[in-house]
Amino acid sequence: MGSCSSGSSPAGARAPTSGHPGRVHRLTLHPAPPEQPLDTATAVGTHGLGLGQGTALAAELGRLPGELVVVAVEGGDFTIGQGLGPAVAAAVPRAAEEVRAVLAAHRDRPAGQ
């Protein structure tokens, strides 16, 4: 399972890519305020936002946490209407378990950490 820790600005946050559909990634970001504000001139909706743009939007709205954990499954076919491929579908339970582990670790953390 891939793991990445980044202190870069949210606008520069990108999920690692390896070209391996079904690979589960876990990124722990400690976002800094964006170097540039969100470009509202080109933002037409939230459905097409990437990770960097989404975290920049959260920062702009004052909703960005001090630590952001992202669990993602690497996709294979992004054709509109295409369902999950076999490798991606098989990875969903692993990703769900990773999310449960993140939540358990957060729940067990002393207050203020």
What pLDDT was estimated at residue 77?
86
DSSP 10-39: GGG------S-TT-EEEEEE-PPPPSS---
What pLDDT was estimated at residue 55?
83
What pLDDT was estimated at residue 113?
63
Q: What is the pTM of this model?
A: 0.66
What pLDDT was estimated at residue 13?
46
What is the block-wise mean pLDDT of the chain (113 residues), using blocks of 10 residues? 39 56 90 64 69 82 88 90 92 97 89 65
